Protein backbone atom coordinates (compact mmCIF):
# COMPACT_ATOMS: atom_id res chain seq x y z
CA UNK A 1 0.00 0.00 0.00
CA UNK A 2 1.39 3.39 -1.04
CA UNK A 3 1.92 5.81 1.84
CA UNK A 4 2.06 9.59 1.63
CA UNK A 5 2.81 12.64 3.74
CA UNK A 6 1.68 16.23 3.22
CA UNK A 7 4.06 18.96 4.38
CA UNK A 8 2.33 22.22 5.34
CA UNK A 9 4.17 25.44 6.20
CA UNK A 10 2.09 27.92 8.21
CA UNK A 11 2.49 31.54 9.27
CA UNK A 12 -0.31 33.83 10.48
CA UNK A 13 -2.88 31.78 8.63
CA UNK A 14 -5.73 31.58 11.13
CA UNK A 15 -8.19 33.37 8.82
CA UNK A 16 -7.84 31.09 5.81
CA UNK A 17 -6.12 27.82 6.69
CA UNK A 18 -9.29 25.87 7.48
CA UNK A 19 -10.38 25.69 3.84
CA UNK A 20 -7.03 24.21 2.89
CA UNK A 21 -7.13 21.71 5.75
CA UNK A 22 -10.59 20.63 4.62
CA UNK A 23 -9.32 20.06 1.08
CA UNK A 24 -6.49 17.88 2.42
CA UNK A 25 -8.69 15.93 4.86
CA UNK A 26 -11.34 15.23 2.22
CA UNK A 27 -8.99 13.90 -0.46
CA UNK A 28 -10.28 10.81 -2.23
CA UNK A 29 -6.94 9.21 -1.37
CA UNK A 30 -6.25 10.43 2.13
CA UNK A 31 -2.67 11.14 3.24
CA UNK A 32 -1.24 8.92 5.94
CA UNK A 33 0.46 11.88 7.58
CA UNK A 34 -0.04 15.63 7.54
CA UNK A 35 2.97 17.39 9.04
CA UNK A 36 2.53 21.08 9.78
CA UNK A 37 5.26 23.44 10.93
CA UNK A 38 4.42 26.94 12.10
CA UNK A 39 7.02 29.69 11.73
CA UNK A 40 6.27 31.64 14.93
CA UNK A 41 2.84 32.98 14.00
CA UNK A 42 1.66 35.96 16.03
CA UNK A 43 -1.98 34.97 15.57
CA UNK A 44 -3.79 31.79 16.63
CA UNK A 45 -2.80 29.58 13.71
CA UNK A 46 -1.39 26.83 15.94
CA UNK A 47 -4.47 26.82 18.18
CA UNK A 48 -6.78 26.74 15.15
CA UNK A 49 -4.90 23.77 13.67
CA UNK A 50 -4.75 21.86 16.94
CA UNK A 51 -8.49 22.37 17.46
CA UNK A 52 -9.10 21.15 13.91
CA UNK A 53 -7.02 18.02 14.45
CA UNK A 54 -8.80 17.29 17.73
CA UNK A 55 -12.32 17.96 16.46
CA UNK A 56 -11.88 15.64 13.48
CA UNK A 57 -9.84 13.05 15.43
CA UNK A 58 -7.12 13.10 12.78
CA UNK A 59 -4.54 10.39 13.33
CA UNK A 60 -1.18 11.12 11.76
CA UNK A 61 -1.73 14.90 11.79
CA UNK A 62 0.53 17.13 13.87
CA UNK A 63 1.76 20.71 14.11
CA UNK A 64 5.02 21.98 15.60
CA UNK A 65 5.85 25.62 16.29
CA UNK A 66 9.42 26.65 15.48
CA UNK A 67 11.55 27.81 18.40
CA UNK A 68 12.51 30.84 16.33
CA UNK A 69 11.43 32.29 13.00
CA UNK A 70 13.13 30.50 10.11
CA UNK A 71 11.57 32.25 7.13
CA UNK A 72 9.44 30.34 4.65
CA UNK A 73 12.34 28.82 2.70
CA UNK A 74 14.01 27.24 5.72
CA UNK A 75 10.65 26.29 7.19
CA UNK A 76 10.06 24.07 4.16
CA UNK A 77 13.60 22.69 4.51
CA UNK A 78 12.78 21.71 8.08
CA UNK A 79 9.56 20.06 6.91
CA UNK A 80 11.57 17.99 4.43
CA UNK A 81 13.87 16.98 7.28
CA UNK A 82 10.80 16.11 9.37
CA UNK A 83 9.57 13.80 6.60
CA UNK A 84 12.64 11.58 6.99
CA UNK A 85 11.12 10.18 10.18
CA UNK A 86 8.09 8.83 8.31
CA UNK A 87 7.89 5.64 6.28
CA UNK A 88 6.23 7.05 3.17
CA UNK A 89 6.65 6.66 -0.57
CA UNK A 90 5.62 10.15 -1.65
CA UNK A 91 5.64 13.66 -0.23
CA UNK A 92 3.31 16.53 -1.12
CA UNK A 93 3.99 20.20 -0.40
CA UNK A 94 1.12 22.40 0.76
CA UNK A 95 0.74 26.12 1.29
CA UNK A 96 -1.74 27.32 3.90
CA UNK A 97 -4.28 29.17 1.76
CA UNK A 98 -4.63 27.32 -1.54
CA UNK A 99 -7.39 24.82 -2.21
CA UNK A 100 -6.79 21.33 -3.54
CA UNK A 101 -9.33 19.64 -5.76
CA UNK A 102 -10.46 16.57 -3.87
CA UNK A 103 -9.01 14.09 -6.35
CA UNK A 104 -5.65 15.89 -6.61
CA UNK A 105 -3.56 13.32 -4.78
CA UNK A 106 -5.37 10.39 -6.35
CA UNK A 107 -4.65 11.63 -9.87
CA UNK A 108 -1.02 12.44 -9.18
CA UNK A 109 -0.33 9.18 -7.36
CA UNK A 110 -1.80 7.20 -10.25
CA UNK A 111 0.64 8.88 -12.62
CA UNK A 112 3.61 8.37 -10.30
CA UNK A 113 2.81 4.69 -9.79
CA UNK A 114 2.48 4.21 -13.55
CA UNK A 115 5.76 6.04 -14.25
CA UNK A 116 8.52 4.94 -11.85
CA UNK A 117 11.06 7.13 -13.69
CA UNK A 118 9.29 10.30 -12.46
CA UNK A 119 10.67 11.80 -9.24
CA UNK A 120 8.79 15.11 -9.26
CA UNK A 121 5.33 15.69 -10.71
CA UNK A 122 4.04 19.25 -10.69
CA UNK A 123 0.66 20.24 -12.09
CA UNK A 124 -1.36 23.09 -13.53
CA UNK A 125 -3.57 25.29 -11.35
CA UNK A 126 -6.58 27.53 -11.62
CA UNK A 127 -5.90 31.10 -10.46
CA UNK A 128 -8.17 33.16 -8.20
CA UNK A 129 -7.25 36.81 -7.57
CA UNK A 130 -8.14 37.75 -4.00
CA UNK A 131 -7.54 41.52 -4.12
CA UNK A 132 -7.32 44.38 -6.58
CA UNK A 133 -3.54 44.52 -6.37
CA UNK A 134 -3.11 40.76 -6.81
CA UNK A 135 -1.42 39.68 -10.02
CA UNK A 136 -1.42 36.49 -12.06
CA UNK A 137 1.97 34.74 -12.06
CA UNK A 138 3.64 34.09 -15.38
CA UNK A 139 3.27 30.39 -16.06
CA UNK A 140 5.64 28.35 -18.21
CA UNK A 141 3.67 26.91 -21.12
CA UNK A 142 4.10 23.17 -21.46
CA UNK A 143 3.08 21.27 -24.56
CA UNK A 144 -0.34 20.01 -23.50
CA UNK A 145 -0.87 17.46 -26.24
CA UNK A 146 -0.03 14.75 -23.72
CA UNK A 147 -1.22 14.19 -20.17
CA UNK A 148 2.27 14.78 -18.79
CA UNK A 149 5.24 16.69 -20.18
CA UNK A 150 8.91 16.35 -19.25
CA UNK A 151 10.70 19.42 -17.92
CA UNK A 152 13.11 20.92 -20.45
CA UNK A 153 16.79 20.69 -19.58
CA UNK A 154 17.79 23.91 -17.80
CA UNK A 155 20.86 24.42 -15.61
CA UNK A 156 19.68 27.71 -14.08
CA UNK A 157 17.80 28.29 -10.83
CA UNK A 158 14.18 28.19 -11.96
CA UNK A 159 10.68 26.88 -11.38
CA UNK A 160 7.64 26.08 -13.50
CA UNK A 161 4.72 25.57 -11.11
CA UNK A 162 3.70 26.38 -7.53
CA UNK A 163 5.29 24.05 -4.99
CA UNK A 164 1.93 22.95 -3.56
CA UNK A 165 1.22 21.12 -6.83
CA UNK A 166 4.24 18.85 -6.37
CA UNK A 167 4.18 15.12 -5.73
CA UNK A 168 7.73 14.01 -4.91
CA UNK A 169 9.20 10.56 -4.62
CA UNK A 170 10.60 10.23 -1.10
CA UNK A 171 13.83 8.68 -2.35
CA UNK A 172 14.72 11.96 -4.08
CA UNK A 173 14.01 13.92 -0.91
CA UNK A 174 16.37 11.65 1.03
CA UNK A 175 19.13 12.11 -1.50
CA UNK A 176 18.74 15.89 -1.78
CA UNK A 177 18.80 16.40 1.99
CA UNK A 178 22.27 14.87 2.17
CA UNK A 179 23.50 17.97 0.37
CA UNK A 180 21.02 20.60 1.59
CA UNK A 181 23.24 21.38 4.55
CA UNK A 182 23.10 24.09 7.20
CA UNK A 183 24.01 27.49 5.77
CA UNK A 184 22.38 26.87 2.40
CA UNK A 185 19.05 28.49 1.59
CA UNK A 186 16.75 28.36 -1.43
CA UNK A 187 13.15 27.85 -2.48
CA UNK A 188 11.86 24.30 -2.12
CA UNK A 189 9.96 24.41 -5.41
CA UNK A 190 12.96 25.66 -7.42
CA UNK A 191 15.09 23.01 -5.75
CA UNK A 192 12.84 20.11 -6.70
CA UNK A 193 12.08 21.46 -10.17
CA UNK A 194 15.71 22.10 -11.02
CA UNK A 195 17.26 18.88 -9.81
CA UNK A 196 14.54 16.63 -11.22
CA UNK A 197 14.90 18.48 -14.53
CA UNK A 198 18.66 17.86 -14.58
CA UNK A 199 18.03 14.19 -13.81
CA UNK A 200 15.38 13.89 -16.50
CA UNK A 201 12.84 12.84 -13.87
CA UNK A 202 10.76 16.03 -13.58
CA UNK A 203 7.35 16.21 -15.27
CA UNK A 204 4.26 18.39 -15.30
CA UNK A 205 0.72 17.05 -15.20
CA UNK A 206 -1.14 19.24 -17.66
CA UNK A 207 -4.39 19.47 -15.71
CA UNK A 208 -5.39 21.76 -12.84
CA UNK A 209 -5.23 20.13 -9.41
CA UNK A 210 -6.47 23.06 -7.33
CA UNK A 211 -7.04 26.78 -6.94
CA UNK A 212 -4.10 29.09 -6.32
CA UNK A 213 -5.21 32.16 -4.40
CA UNK A 214 -3.24 35.29 -5.26
CA UNK A 215 -3.07 37.99 -2.61
CA UNK A 216 -1.38 41.36 -2.92
CA UNK A 217 1.42 40.17 -0.64
CA UNK A 218 2.07 36.63 -1.90
CA UNK A 219 5.53 35.55 -0.69
CA UNK A 220 6.36 34.19 -4.13
CA UNK A 221 5.65 37.59 -5.63
CA UNK A 222 8.20 39.43 -3.46
CA UNK A 223 10.81 39.52 -6.20
CA UNK A 224 14.12 41.30 -6.58
CA UNK A 225 13.77 44.65 -8.34
CA UNK A 226 16.03 47.51 -9.31
CA UNK A 227 14.81 49.30 -6.17
CA UNK A 228 16.25 46.55 -3.96
CA UNK A 229 19.43 46.97 -1.93
CA UNK A 230 22.86 45.59 -2.76
CA UNK A 231 22.44 43.13 0.13
CA UNK A 232 19.17 41.89 -1.33
CA UNK A 233 20.99 41.23 -4.61
CA UNK A 234 23.61 39.21 -2.72
CA UNK A 235 20.86 37.28 -0.94
CA UNK A 236 19.33 36.33 -4.29
CA UNK A 237 22.69 35.18 -5.62
CA UNK A 238 23.10 33.00 -2.52
CA UNK A 239 19.89 31.17 -3.46
CA UNK A 240 21.37 30.34 -6.85
CA UNK A 241 24.69 29.22 -5.40
CA UNK A 242 22.92 27.06 -2.80
CA UNK A 243 21.03 25.34 -5.60
CA UNK A 244 24.20 24.67 -7.59
CA UNK A 245 25.96 23.18 -4.56
CA UNK A 246 23.09 20.78 -3.85
CA UNK A 247 22.74 19.83 -7.51
CA UNK A 248 26.48 19.15 -7.67
CA UNK A 249 26.21 16.65 -4.83
CA UNK A 250 23.22 14.82 -6.28
CA UNK A 251 24.57 14.61 -9.83
CA UNK A 252 28.01 13.53 -8.65
CA UNK A 253 26.53 10.77 -6.49
CA UNK A 254 24.54 9.50 -9.44
CA UNK A 255 27.49 9.83 -11.82
CA UNK A 256 25.08 11.72 -14.08
CA UNK A 257 26.16 12.93 -17.54
CA UNK A 258 24.96 16.47 -16.74
CA UNK A 259 27.45 16.75 -13.88
CA UNK A 260 30.28 18.34 -15.88
CA UNK A 261 28.00 21.02 -17.32
CA UNK A 262 26.57 21.75 -13.88
CA UNK A 263 30.13 22.32 -12.63
CA UNK A 264 30.50 25.09 -15.21
CA UNK A 265 27.44 26.85 -13.78
CA UNK A 266 28.71 26.35 -10.24
CA UNK A 267 32.06 27.92 -11.10
CA UNK A 268 30.31 30.79 -12.86
CA UNK A 269 27.98 31.51 -9.93
CA UNK A 270 30.77 31.31 -7.35
CA UNK A 271 32.64 33.96 -9.33
CA UNK A 272 29.46 35.96 -9.81
CA UNK A 273 28.69 36.27 -6.11
CA UNK A 274 32.35 37.04 -5.33
CA UNK A 275 32.32 39.83 -7.91
CA UNK A 276 29.09 41.21 -6.46
CA UNK A 277 30.32 41.08 -2.85
CA UNK A 278 33.52 42.95 -3.67
CA UNK A 279 31.98 45.18 -6.36
CA UNK A 280 34.53 44.06 -8.96
CA UNK A 281 33.63 46.15 -11.99
CA UNK A 282 35.95 44.67 -14.61
CA UNK A 283 35.34 41.07 -13.56
CA UNK A 284 31.58 41.62 -13.59
CA UNK A 285 31.70 43.19 -17.05
CA UNK A 286 33.76 40.24 -18.26
CA UNK A 287 31.13 37.81 -16.98
CA UNK A 288 28.25 39.80 -18.43
CA UNK A 289 29.87 39.85 -21.87
CA UNK A 290 31.92 36.68 -22.12
CA UNK A 291 29.77 34.36 -20.01
CA UNK A 292 26.35 35.65 -21.05
CA UNK A 293 25.10 32.14 -21.85
CA UNK A 294 25.21 31.24 -18.14
CA UNK A 295 22.64 33.91 -17.27
CA UNK A 296 18.98 32.97 -17.35
CA UNK A 297 17.89 36.38 -18.67
CA UNK A 298 19.20 39.65 -20.08
CA UNK A 299 17.71 41.50 -17.09
CA UNK A 300 20.00 39.61 -14.70
CA UNK A 301 23.02 40.70 -16.71
CA UNK A 302 21.83 44.30 -16.36
CA UNK A 303 21.23 43.82 -12.62
CA UNK A 304 24.77 42.57 -12.06
CA UNK A 305 26.09 45.84 -13.46
CA UNK A 306 23.62 48.15 -11.74
CA UNK A 307 24.01 46.56 -8.31
CA UNK A 308 27.73 47.28 -8.36
CA UNK A 309 26.88 50.87 -7.42
CA UNK A 310 23.77 50.26 -5.30
CA UNK A 311 23.89 50.76 -1.54
180 neighbors 77 (Cβ within 8 angstroms): yes
Q: Tell me the average pLDDT across 123-132.
A: 88
Helix axes 17-25, 45-55, angle to 10 degrees: 30
Rounded to whole angstroms, what are the CA distances from 89 to 61, 76, 171, 207, 265? Answer: 17, 18, 8, 23, 32
| Residues 166, 123: Cα–Cα separation, whole Å | 7
d(CA 106, CA 121): 13
Q: Where are the domains of the chain?
A: 4-221, 230-306
Three-class secondary structure of residue 203 per DSSP:
strand
- Residue-wise pLDDT for 158-181, tens only, equals 999 999 999 999 999 999 999 999
pLDDT at 310: 85
Q: Which residue has the higher pLDDT, 46 or 310?
A: 46
pLDDT at res. 220: 47
- What are the angstrom distances between the C-alpha of 73 and each of 14, 95, 185, 203, 220? 20, 12, 7, 23, 11
- What digits encode the pLDDT tens for the residues 190-228? 999 999 999 999 999 999 999 988 876 555 444 567 678
Q: Give the domain 4-221 fold.
A: Spore Coat Polysaccharide Biosynthesis Protein SpsA; Chain A (3.90.550)
Q: What pTM value is reported for the model?
A: 0.94
* Region 260-268 average pLDDT: 98
pLDDT, residue 217, reads 55
Cα dihedral 16→166→246→85 (10° resolution): 80
Handedness of CA 113, 119, 124, 125 (dihedral sign): positive
> Do 193 and 151 contact (CB within 8 A), yes or no?
yes
Q: Could you report the per-residue pLDDT of 91-124, keeping only the tens digit for each?
A: 999 998 889 999 999 999 999 999 999 999 999 9
Amino acid sequence: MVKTAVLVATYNGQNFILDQLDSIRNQTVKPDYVILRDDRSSDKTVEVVNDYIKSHDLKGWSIVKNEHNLGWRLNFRQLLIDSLDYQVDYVFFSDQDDIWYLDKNERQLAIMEKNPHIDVLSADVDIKLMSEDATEPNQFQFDKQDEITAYPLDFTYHNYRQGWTFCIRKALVEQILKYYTDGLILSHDNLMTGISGLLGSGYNYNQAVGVHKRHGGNASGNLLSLHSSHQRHLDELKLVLSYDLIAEGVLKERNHPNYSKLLEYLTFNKERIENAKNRKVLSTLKQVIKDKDYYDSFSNRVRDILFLVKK
